[in-house]
């Protein structure tokens, strides 16, 4: 059974710092991995999608990497801003189910202090 773990559960950094969020998964048989952002009381916003054949994806100040063989992904946020404060969720789409299911980690709650 696929399990997704995110470390740390919470992170507080000063504005301007570069930071890395970690995600690990137990079964490397995945179609893709997706990083989301969730603001309090809101839905999920998709940040980056990495297909299983890819190593990384970039969008603005965000860079996500995928090492499928070791079951790891990282989300790198450059020059963090207070507006980046949110919970970041990692999810993998594995081979379970007829259309694949997204298996989520419990998230990393990020706080960027001005």
Find the shortest distance in angstroms from Cβ 29 to another protein. Answer: 12
Cβ burial, residue 74 (10 Å; 0-12/13-18/19+)? middle
One-letter-per-residue 3-state SS of 67-99: EHHHCEEEEEECCCCHHHCEEEEEEEEECCCCC
Find the shortest distance in angstroms from Cβ 98 to another protein. Answer: 7
77 CB neighbour count, 10 Å cutoff: 21
Residues found near another protein in the complex (CB under 8 A)? 31-32, 34, 36, 41-46, 49, 51-52, 89, 91, 93, 97-102, 104-107
CB of 25 closer than 8 Å to CB of 3: yes
Nearer of residues 73 and 80 to another protein, judged by Cβ:
73
Look up tokens 């000063």; give the residue: 14
Nearer of residues 45 and 70 to another protein, judged by Cβ:
45
Nearer of residues 13 and 54 to another protein, judged by Cβ:
54
Nearer of residues 80 and 88 to another protein, judged by Cβ:
88
Find the shortest distance in angstroms from Cβ 42 to another protein. Answer: 6
Find the shortest distance in angstroms from Cβ 68 to another protein. Answer: 13
């Amino acid at each position: 059974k696929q399990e997704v773990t995110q470390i740390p559960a919470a992170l507080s950094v000063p504005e301007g710092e570069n930071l890395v969020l970690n995600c690990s998964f137990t079964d490397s048989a995945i179609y893709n991995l997706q990083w989301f952002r969730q603001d309090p009381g809101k839905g999920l916003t998709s940040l980056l999608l990495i297909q299983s054949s890819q190593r990384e994806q970039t969008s603005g100040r965000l860079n996500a990497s995928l090492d499928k063989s070791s079951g790891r992904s990282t989300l790198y946020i450059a020059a963090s801003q207070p507006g980046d404060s949110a919970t970041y969720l990692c999810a993998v789409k594995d081979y379970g189910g007829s259309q694949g299911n997204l298996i989520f980690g419990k998230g990393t709650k990020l706080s960027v202090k001005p």
